[in-house]
Structure 1
Amino acid sequence: MSDLPAYRVWALPGIPEVRTGDDIAKLIASAATAEGLPGLADGDVLMVTSKILSKAEGRVVRADDREAAIDAEAVRVVARRGPLRIVENRLGLVMAAAGVDASNTPAGTVLLLPEDPDASARRIRTGLRDTLGVNVGVVVTDTFGRPWRSGLTDVAIGAAGVRVLDDLRGGTDAHGNPLNATVVATADELAAAGDLVKGKASGLPVAVVRGLSHVVVSEGDDAPRDGDAGARALVRDAADDMFRLGTSEAVREAVTLRRTVREFTDDPVDGGAVRRAVAAAVTAPAPHHTTPWRFVLLESAESRVRLLDAMRDAWIADLRGDGFSEENIARRVRRGDVLRKAPYLVVPCLVMDGSHTYPDARRNASEREMFVVAAGAGVQNFLVALAGERLGSAWVSSTMFCRDVVREVLGLPADWDPMGAVAVGRAAVSPSERPVRDAAAFVTVR
């Protein structure tokens, strides 16, 4: 049985109450060499609760208002439910309250996370090597909640001398199947193992794991390098994070992302993404329980060119009829080229199915206005959903000025009213900063 894979984990007693300026490595070394304890050996991994590092590094601050401390540490709100906030903090960690902790600290103060947990772990590792002559790994831990799972667990927020990730991609499983996505979060698994013996209120802030020396990097300097990148390597890049936002925050982010794009790349547009945006569009409010929206998707270059050529010819004829010079006409036509530059076009249409007819023109006009407003709400939903799919768009009104031409070219029913055209694609350049608008300037209270 002795050759079966196994490890041992124990909490390290004897760590005193930590104060600002204390040398954590020396405190651990003293506790580990106490009589009756197994000491530390090469290949051991230490799990160190971040709280004692915060205290030693002077990260205890006065804060009668804990919310203000959270504001100072947070860089982005991910989700909010009442007073609870899940935020991204300055370390890139997504967690409740930015890691600001009001427990195990005097009243009127809060604990902030260590300034640089990876650097803190490197100092402890170096200090133990200098004091005890051992090559150990160090993991700095903190408590996290997790999406879709009840309960808390410790995870790694800092590390030194530990291979924090075990990348199995490119290998095969026991059945010979290729492993294409398996990257094991070794440092988080170590943190959770240590937490089982440390506990949350037992006064045992350090745990030792023995028997897993293969996760400890060889002895050398403690600068981040291959195999020892620190816990920062566990933070998923924003571009790869499919669950970056909470529900309401995702909506607000998508609304913010929705910008008019006038220059597109040649990248093809996923028709599935556009159809998902249409599904969002048709959830807009509408009068009389109607569905006044229709979306014509121009997915082929031929259909787009045929429509835009016919619209251009009709527009030029109208401008000449209005007495514009050829130079002025050419300039106006060039301004409308945004639709030609897009790899995908959508023509939203209004239908009046289900509308009411009244005996006087005023009420009939108001009835149409209700349907037009509903159409606009549907298009706004559509644009926001496109932004959520990371697609740029530009809603251009030109089809409204030649509806008969559009209906004829696209073979649409006579009662479909084109409500502009939406250019869709990936933005070729980043949009300029949106002008800041004070919402209060648009509000009237009675």
Structure 2
Amino acid sequence: MTDHGSGAAAGADVVGGAGGVGGAGSEVGGGARYEVWALDGIPEVGPGDDIAKLIAGASPSPGLLDGDVLLVTSKIVSKAEGRVIAAADREEAIDAETVRVVARRGTLRIVENRQGLIMAAAGVDASNTPAGTVLLLPEDPDGSARRIRAGLREALGVDVGVIVTDTFGRPWRSGLTDVAIGAAGVRVLDDLRGVSDSHGNELNVTVIATADELAAAGDLVKGKATGRPVAVVRGLGHVVAGDEEPGARALVRNAADDMFRLGTSEAVREAMTARRTVREFTDDPVDPGAVRRAVAVAVTAPAPHHTTPWRFVLLETEAARLRLLDAMRDAWIADLRADGKSEESIAKRVRRGDVLRNAPYLIVPCLVMDGAHHYGDPRRDAAEREMFVVAAGAAVQNLLVALAGERLGSAWVSSTMFCREVVRDALGLPAGWDPMGAIAVGRPAAPPKERAVRQAGAFIEVR
């Protein structure tokens, strides 16, 4: 057993071999090496207690050295900060701590809490707290870590890093692990981008979550029911830094980079509500692959008689777009003149159609009546066509939602429906393809305005 002085917890020390955090540490036996052990002598924590003083005053002495990293379980921080409530208030507390619901399965909620963490029940926990109570996470875990670090510097004269830890489940992986939710004086991320590996390959995306790896190492010796809420890592002084380090908040992925931000049903609802009509686009090119993925979603729409009554004409070249839009403009102007409109009125109306002309990509959805039944009865034949039109609309809605999921804006404009022969001629389409408007696609030039709230009850009749 390695001797850590009087601060070692019996049977609770681990020596990390080569390949410890960052591949560095104190040199022992020619390899990179670190040590981690849990502290004994930390008393039960109550509201108002000073965590740093409890650690400094532990018996046996913690024996801390400059460059050590302390891993402090968030529960004792919550107790010291008075973040204890009656268990009967748990659901209300989860609501209060929740910023948004990520996924819900029955009574289980995975949420983003006010600290920006994605976790079950907003971190409201009934373990390691007296019966009838539950614990909330610290209000500001990074601030808590800074206070503990400063307190240990004052009490013991040591420069240590501090990580506040909590237990998380993880998507795609069974089991729980400890992660860093607060940090002070620790380089929480080790950015290796631009560094070459042992084969000379440049690393392009490798950023190591050092603080999380340390938290997990500490959990191996602290345990969940041993009464040892603090662990020490020694031999990784290179991860200890100054007070200017950003803290564990830097580990939270921002929304724009989060590809898995929502659960399945929540993602569907979010995508549906995120679909907005966008009329102004940037000049950025549209990825044809993204459009094809959206079309693959579009063609899953329901349709009558097991048919597939949709075709999507993708105008990916400027020449094709201008050929269509110029032909449509000329036909529209001719119609407006035939209606007796003034040249000024005509020019104003044509300008309103610029949403298609200014888009970097156009899609022309077409209705194809292959497989439709013919009854010889005008009423039934009209209803048959309506079924196919409804199916085309469902496919277009799927398409618009899927485009929003690809971060593409869109505007569905009806204009091609008023000059179908012109469109078919300009695009060389078969006679049986009926254009159902045109969809402008591109990167939105500005965030959409807030959507007016619509109460579902206003559109529901129950019988």
TM-score range, shorter chain: over 0.9
1:14 counterpart residue number? 41
Counterpart of 1:127 in 2: which secondary structure? helix
1:195 aligns to 2:219 (yes or no): yes
How much does 1:38 deviate?
A: 5.8
1:233-263 deviations in whole A, cap 9, x for unaligned? Answer: 1111212222222222221111111110111
1:63-110 deviations in whole A, cap 9, x for unaligned? Answer: 524222111111111112121111111111111111111223344432
1:185 counterpart residue number? 209
How much does 1:157 deviate?
A: 0.4
1:172 counterpart residue number? 196
Query: Any conservation in 2 of the 1:350–1:375 contact (CA below 8 Å)?
Result: yes
Counterpart of 2:372 in 1: which secondary structure? coil
1:356 aligns to 2:380 (yes or no): no
1:301 aligns to 2:328 (yes or no): no
Query: Any conservation in 2 of the 1:63–1:69 contact (CA below 8 Å)?
Result: no
Structure 1 residue corresponding to 2:98, chosen from 67, 74, 77: 74
Counterpart of 1:125 in 2: which secondary structure? helix
Instruction: In structure 1, give the amino acid aligned to 2:155.
Output: T
Bigger drift between 427-436 and 135-144 goes to: 427-436
Instruction: In structure 2, give the amino acid aligned to 1:22.
Output: D
Instruction: In structure 1, give the amino acid aligned to 2:346.
Output: I
1:336 counterpart residue number? 353
How much does 1:323 deviate?
A: 2.3
How much does 1:173 deviate?
A: 0.8
Structure 1 residue corresponding to 2:72, chosen from 48, 52, 59: 48
Bigger drift between 325-334 and 150-159 goes to: 325-334
1:444 aligns to 2:461 (yes or no): yes
1:9-408 maps to which residues of 2 (within 5 A)? 9-31=36-58, 34-35=59-60, 39-62=63-86, 64-217=88-241, 222=243, 225=244, 228-408=245-425
Instruction: In structure 2, give the amino acid aligned to 1:17.
Output: E
How much does 1:387 deviate?
A: 0.3
Counterpart of 2:110 in 1: which secondary structure? strand
Instruction: In structure 1, give the amino acid aligned to 2:403.
Output: L
Q: Aligned pair count?
A: 436
Separation in 1, partners of 2:86, 2:331:
70
Bigger drift between 293-302 and 57-66 goes to: 57-66
Q: TM-score, normalised by structure 2?
A: 0.92
How much does 1:317 deviate?
A: 1.4
Query: Any conservation in 1 of the 2:362–2:439 contact (CA below 8 Å)?
Result: yes
Separation in 1, partners of 2:34, 2:350:
74
Separation in 1, partners of 2:459, 2:226:
55
Query: Any conservation in 1 of the 2:55–2:62 contact (CA below 8 Å)?
Result: no
Instruction: In structure 1, give the amino acid aligned to 2:307.
Output: T
Query: Any conservation in 1 of the 2:56–2:62 contact (CA below 8 Å)?
Result: no
Query: Any conservation in 1 of the 2:282–2:443 contact (CA below 8 Å)?
Result: yes
1:348-380 deviations in whole A, cap 9, x for unaligned? Answer: 000011111113111111111100000000000
Counterpart of 2:31 in 1: which secondary structure? coil
1:386-413 deviations in whole A, cap 9, x for unaligned? Answer: 0000000000000000000000010000
Separation in 2, partners of 1:38, 1:61:
31
Runs (4+) of structure 1 exceeding 3 A deviation are 106-109
Separation in 2, partners of 1:335, 1:106:
67
Separation in 2, partners of 1:106, 1:318:
80
1:253-302 deviations in whole A, cap 9, x for unaligned? Answer: 11111110111111111111111100000001111111011000001111
Could you list the runs of 5+ residues in structure 1 that have no partner in the other structure? none
1:414 aligns to 2:431 (yes or no): yes
Instruction: In structure 2, give the amino acid aligned to 1:85.
Output: R
Counterpart of 1:202 in 2: which secondary structure? coil
Bigger drift between 209-218 and 405-414 goes to: 209-218
Could you list the runs of 5+ residues in structure 2 that have no partner in the other structure? 1-27
Separation in 2, partners of 1:132, 1:265:
58
How much does 1:139 deviate?
A: 0.5
Q: TM-score, normalised by structure 1?
A: 0.95
Instruction: In structure 2, give the amino acid aligned to 1:335.
Output: R
How much does 1:231 deviate?
A: 0.6
Bigger drift between 243-252 and 287-296 goes to: 243-252
Query: Any conservation in 1 of the 2:39–2:62 contact (CA below 8 Å)?
Result: no
Separation in 1, partners of 2:200, 2:421:
62
